[in-house]
Structure 1
């Protein structure tokens, strides 16, 4: 069974909506709301349609498609420059050290400060794979295809890139971090705040969130324990990000306390290692397993396939070539599967 990554189209709305209902909450970039998803698709269409120009606040939505059945079984998103239309808020974890000469004691207190330090960075997010397809490395295909897209359209992206991981969500769908901190200032539970943010943006955070640093010692134990921890379902995603060169630099999500991972764009492993080659032949039965991509903007496609180096270029397995709709003489971007 062959899968490929391609640009999302209007006909994918129902598939995206059905997947959004499976996320279990706390997944701001894929809300189970048709109006919000339609707005995302419209924004993505505009980004794919812009041929060139400088970095702007844009969104690209990609989907994972079963080539045989045409079913959409996963999705991911790329934001070119966050924080341009609305402030991009994070909590920065810091420490305050104080010393009492009379007591001869030093106290160190962890603090959360509301920050917009990450404004202007690009973001990879919105990755969701249908539960029925969580095998065979398809999550890896979704994740790494974004980096190949970025490399192919490098001028459209910033020099810094981030990824927000969903934080700890309890069995009732609530967030211990939200309940112990922000929920006290907003008069709404986590589910309502998360849904409002997904549909309307988070300007309300700027309006109501306290601007002074928060001492973590004043939070509940459950809220403190959630700071910087990914949701159990996101641990594999965190490992993939770390393998790509992302690191946790003490920024967490203001809603659920999940970790924000950052990297220099050109040092992301897939971006740095990918190389461009001419397709010399199609039809090899063996070779090195690789992630192969082709096409600009709305014609972008990516898939796994066997690739073999040769004197005049590379040979690509036929099933991969068919999924990508490429022929001898075409140029592709490829990187070894890790």
Structure 2
């Protein structure tokens, strides 16, 4: 209960940099590059300052802060529209079946096709939690706070969301998928390509990657067996996305082969089921109520945290919260908020 979500602001860059150094690579949206993170925080502040409710090329960076110490222990991001300034590339995994009556054989092969199908979508990404704080449901709090932000600012996001999950990377920072495919055309390591992508974008992909489909049977087994599979540390995130209504639909990341999940915005569980409420004057007693994720505030004033919640009557919009949550969220009687059960 002593943690809250808020927008990133100037001065948070070094805390984000410290988190970025713990990712182990392959985390494009949180590069271990201080200047890149400073630029991202500036861009995020511009997005939170934009007054027009429209789908723009914005990124919203949120941080998870310990309320007492002020330590930043996690972060998450929302991209309002991908593929605006440069193409947004994915691989689409499909299959082709051929038959030969003369040989009495039927062969089905898988193909990877470079596509920009997901251009124009919004994206949730960049979720990372400090290893020492991966308890108490803080990852879930980070994830669901993004959906409540979307709920409160629906007009700023597209009708479809995507989420890219980091693919399989070994203990030496190598990607079997990249080594089996991308490296053949680019002549650089996965770490070099990933860094270049995080700093300058992936436009170089269209410059050098072949436009025709790649038959997976021609890839080494080590590359084939990781296609569409998340990194071990990303499996809980994949399960959370699936519970929210995301599915893979055959899209994979062009660098590490990790799954790209897709969902209709208004069908995301936490967006569709979040309820609006108004704070009652009296706070709950200790131990009362249902543990929920609660969010309030617009743009720069957005805040979210766990709270114990109690409806005076079923489906009532008059809601009581525990005092710690009220203080954490800086709420006063009559303030509006949205909530979703944990």
Render the CA deviation track for 1:218-277: whole Å, top value 9, x for unaligned.
000000001000000000000000111111110000000000011010010000110111
Report what 1:301 is aligned to: 303
- Runs of 4+ with >6 A deviation: none
Report what 1:169 is aligned to: 169
Report what 1:190 is aligned to: 190
SS at match of 1:18: helix
Shift of 1:100: 1.3
Shift of 1:39: 1.1
Shift of 1:149: 0.2
SS at match of 1:52: coil
Render the CA deviation track for 1:147-200: whole Å, top value 9, x for unaligned.
000010000000000100000001110000000001110010000000111011
Report what 2:318 is aligned to: 313
SS at match of 1:230: coil
TM-score, normalised relative to structure 2: 0.97
Shift of 1:283: 2.1
Report what 2:29 is aligned to: 29
Shift of 1:282: 4.2
Provide the rounded CA distance (Å) in 2 between the counterparts of 1:302 and 1:30: 21
SS at match of 2:14: helix
Shift of 1:281: 2.6
Provide the rounded CA distance (Å) in 1 between the counterparts of 2:171 and 2:160: 35
Render the CA deviation track for 1:124-150: whole Å, top value 9, x for unaligned.
000000011000000000000000000
Provide the rounded CA distance (Å) in 2 between the counterparts of 1:237 and 1:244: 11
Provide the rounded CA distance (Å) in 2 between the counterparts of 1:23 and 1:146: 20
Provide the rounded CA distance (Å) in 2 between the counterparts of 1:39 and 1:15: 14
Report what 2:69 is aligned to: 69
94-103 or 197-206, which deviates more:
94-103
Tell me whether 1:324 sits opposite 2:329 in the alignment.
Answer: yes
Report what 2:7 is aligned to: 7
Tell me whether 1:269 sits opposite 2:262 in the alignment.
Answer: no
Render the CA deviation track for 1:113-134: whole Å, top value 9, x for unaligned.
0000011111000000001100
Provide the rounded CA distance (Å) in 1 between the counterparts of 2:306 and 2:106: 56
Report what 1:216 is aligned to: 216
Gapped regions of structure 1 (runs ≥ 5): none
Report what 2:256 is aligned to: 256
Provide the rounded CA distance (Å) in 2 between the counterparts of 1:4 and 1:83: 31
1:282/1:321 contact within 8 Å kept: no
| CA RMSD in angstroms, aligned pairs only | 0.9
Tell me whether 1:239 sits opposite 2:244 in the alignment.
Answer: no
Count of residues in Structure 1 that have an aligned counterpart in Structure 2: 337
Gapped regions of structure 2 (runs ≥ 5): none
1:76/1:125 contact within 8 Å kept: yes
Shift of 1:68: 0.2
Provide the rounded CA distance (Å) in 1 between the counterparts of 2:244 and 2:89: 24
Report what 2:127 is aligned to: 127
Report what 2:80 is aligned to: 80
Render the CA deviation track for 1:50-69: whole Å, top value 9, x for unaligned.
01232111100000000000
Report what 1:333 is aligned to: 338
Provide the rounded CA distance (Å) in 2 between the counterparts of 1:267 and 1:294: 21
SS at match of 1:4: strand
TM-score, normalised relative to structure 1: 0.98
Provide the rounded CA distance (Å) in 1 between the counterparts of 2:171 and 2:282: 50
Report what 1:57 is aligned to: 57
SS at match of 1:10: coil
| 1:287 counterpart (282, 289, 310) | 289
Provide the rounded CA distance (Å) in 2 between the counterparts of 1:282 and 1:223: 58
